[in-house]
Structure 1
């Protein structure tokens, strides 16, 4: 997977390669695929796209599919009813499939999918015609990472730990349950149909499923796959979330990745484990470096993550509900911008295996955006030689670590004020993200909640 062609025409030529087309056509025939889905991901992380009969595979590879650009903002409007991301007269964008993402859907062997990169139409103004669409989160991460590697010789590798909450048959707490179900063998066994199907589907779609377990809330499951280059991890997280939804449908259950579902204690996080590599050498770890085995590159990258954590929160914790997890979670959920050795209450944990576990992201984060801001924060830390300071509980800290933003509104203000974080998305995508999320915050502030009804309805009667 490369950072990709610079223009739509170049992508078309790559996809028209006869050997490549022949290979995919053969895979379609062997698998009995009848339909191919051309998919992309919106700013909020939703999967959208179009379906094309497999007999038009060559046409789809060479021409892609067109979609209205409003879809990238989930067809949302602001409070005045104006469409976010362009009006009804805005030009469509072109979604071009990446052939190396072809996968047969294990729950529907008659269908396959491509993930796409997005472009401006070639018939547009000369300055934009055929160029990458600024609002393309997936393509943006690929270009950002490619440019970072060219500048530094480093590659970002990550692994994610998405948590989900399952309700329905088998997810109920055991009768008389009085202790935490975390890692409890019987609690996990109750979800056996869920995790067995997730693993089977995940492996069929290229996720190297490595481990999983029951977390601390009833019906809460975490399933992990092997770490990889950042773009691949982001693609696989999108696939994983779709797999969860499909498994829930098949088993007659409900699943949510909502950061703080009602009645839960911990909430659903999605810790991002990050490291930078030069070839097959981990640039973060050196047994001879210091007692933490953290290289200068690793320390400075950590410093960048801490310096920009508050501004990144809007991307890593992108919903109103996200801040209920941070403020009303548990000792395992970060609330301050701190770091520590094997300390699971911190925003960043330094395990013993050459990675930084960033514990702020939740399970609704768009993984292309989350990886983009983390990469830019680390590069700024390395470039500016930012010192992370001593870990929590060491070095005689007299001043408490700063708090994370308390709500989405404050997070958006900090996001807009940080040029390193906004530059990670690029002007077009950062502006659209801010517009979309500001409208979401505005809708929430105008909503009357159940808590308000219970608190004030009969207050003076």
Structure 2
């Protein structure tokens, strides 16, 4: 069925044209069918300042976009017709949605356009990734209003106790799981599995492995509409990497393998231990060498660095191991079709397009430069000092990203400059605040 036939069959009156901002949030507009026809041909204008907003629309200082030189012009959003979906709960005629990304100069800093460029560069080197994504989140029996009224403390989670894979809680919450599955169908989200995680209300939903932009598109949609589903039920979810001192850390895990131009998996070699080919070793070597420079992509918010407090189940460094969850890079799988690496560094608030692009870039660079990895970790990685580490403080991560020749080569000068500036602006805004914990400790006797 072509697009005109789809619009006619749907009785389309209005459709949503959406793009993904730097934070990974969907933003867009509802347009009439008459307007959609022109937008599909010529694009839809939207100001690049959209990429300089924090989630609550705090404007971040970005050179050329929000500083004194900015004119707040529009650049075109280029619609991808293949991404058409149906919005759950909307009636036919009003339920179609299309994803888009910036064209024009703003394409250089647009996350979806950036991933497209990295995928094309990898394909030019003869490699095509297959990847899936796991999203961790916490579900609360709270509305946004009730959570705010409590100062986001002493919140009621959807389940009381830590309950990893506990069928009791999955059965208790069967209506939620079923609603998520029903929601995913019209959105064309290929859910592979869902389960309880290691905290009260802590859950995980996994996107099945796919190719191109599709799995990243799906995770963006999942994050947006999981939150919408919760709000419709009088609940709320958070993707904060660390939402309380008592909660464990929340992350997005990226599973990735590579095929060559003929579709043959290149990570597998039956003659090598665990089937890990020379190409796969070099991919891991590239991750170990370059992920430190890219820390800011994987840990893009002030809160993201709280995920690595002592006692949390977060990566101890840029280590790797076979079937070892105490490393940042976990090799998993047992045959050509399943062998892959899991990047466990990204927090749950990362932008999926940027996470995939940065991981793929580092790995491909490792193959091209034939980078050998450090020795794999055997046993518990938390008790072994890592040979390589990521940046543990946001200012260090900003400085490293800004100075990285590798990041500028693969992600582009414009993106590195603007993303580093936006994250620095976010950090400075938080640095100007006085946290409650400082008042409690120092006000009377400090």
| d(CA) in 1 for partners of 2:68, 2:410 | 22
Q: Deviations over 1:52-109 (max 9, x none)?
A: 0123331221122101111111165457999637755243100121110111112213
| d(CA) in 2 for partners of 1:35, 1:232 | 24
The answer as to whether partners of 2:267 and 2:277 remain within 8 angstroms in 1 is yes
User: CA 1:80/1:390 → structure 2, altered by over 3 Å: closer, same or farther?
Assistant: closer
| d(CA) in 1 for partners of 2:182, 2:267 | 33
The answer as to whether partners of 1:327 and 1:406 remain within 8 angstroms in 2 is no
DSSP-derived class of the 1:108 partner: coil
The answer as to whether partners of 1:380 and 1:420 remain within 8 angstroms in 2 is no
The answer for the alignment partner of 1:369 in structure 2 is 354
| d(CA) in 1 for partners of 2:366, 2:294 | 14
| d(CA) in 1 for partners of 2:45, 2:61 | 28
Match of 1:50 among 25, 29, 35: 29
| d(CA) in 2 for partners of 1:79, 1:429 | 14
Shift of 1:392: 1.0
Does residue 200 of the first structure (1) align with residue 201 of the second (2)? no
Does residue 134 of the first structure (1) align with residue 108 of the second (2)? yes
User: CA 1:30/1:143 → structure 2, altered by over 3 Å: closer, same or farther?
Assistant: same
The answer for the alignment partner of 1:221 in structure 2 is 203
The answer for the alignment partner of 2:10 in structure 1 is 31
DSSP-derived class of the 1:412 partner: helix
Shift of 1:341: 1.5
Shift of 1:458: 1.1
Shift of 1:190: 2.9
User: CA 1:283/1:86 → structure 2, altered by over 3 Å: closer, same or farther?
Assistant: farther
DSSP-derived class of the 2:45 partner: strand
User: CA 1:426/1:79 → structure 2, altered by over 3 Å: closer, same or farther?
Assistant: closer
Does residue 160 of the first structure (1) align with residue 141 of the second (2)? no
| d(CA) in 2 for partners of 1:379, 1:187 | 41
The answer for the alignment partner of 1:337 in structure 2 is 318
The answer for the alignment partner of 1:239 in structure 2 is 221
DSSP-derived class of the 1:393 partner: coil
Q: How does 1:389-428 map to 2 (within 5 A)?
A: 389-393=374-378, 400-428=386-414
User: CA 1:311/1:190 → structure 2, altered by over 3 Å: closer, same or farther?
Assistant: farther
The answer for the alignment partner of 1:350 in structure 2 is 331
The answer as to whether partners of 2:83 and 2:98 remain within 8 angstroms in 1 is yes
The answer for the alignment partner of 1:100 in structure 2 is 82
Say what the alpha-carbon RMSD is for the aligned residues: 2.4
Q: Deviations over 1:248-274 (max 9, x none)?
A: 111110101111111443221101111
Q: How many residues align?
A: 420
Q: Deviations over 1:303-353 (max 9, x none)?
A: 0101112222110111111111123452x3102111111111111011123
| d(CA) in 2 for partners of 1:233, 1:86 | 38
User: CA 1:298/1:77 → structure 2, altered by over 3 Å: closer, same or farther?
Assistant: same
The answer as to whether partners of 1:38 and 1:97 remain within 8 angstroms in 2 is yes
DSSP-derived class of the 1:98 partner: strand
In structure 2, stretches of 5+ residues that fail to align are 143-155
| d(CA) in 1 for partners of 2:65, 2:401 | 22
| d(CA) in 2 for partners of 1:445, 1:115 | 35
The answer as to whether partners of 1:34 and 1:111 remain within 8 angstroms in 2 is no
User: CA 1:453/1:190 → structure 2, altered by over 3 Å: closer, same or farther?
Assistant: farther
Is 401-410 or 193-202 further displaced after alignment? Answer: 401-410
The answer as to whether partners of 1:33 and 1:104 remain within 8 angstroms in 2 is no
DSSP-derived class of the 1:227 partner: strand
The answer for the alignment partner of 2:419 in structure 1 is 433
The answer for the alignment partner of 1:59 in structure 2 is 38
| d(CA) in 2 for partners of 1:258, 1:190 | 24
| d(CA) in 2 for partners of 1:105, 1:302 | 39
Shift of 1:376: 1.3
TM-score (norm 1): 0.85
Q: How does 1:142-181 map to 2 (within 5 A)?
A: 142-150=116-124, 152-168=125-141, 171-174=157-160, 177=161, 180-181=162-163
| d(CA) in 2 for partners of 1:240, 1:218 | 21
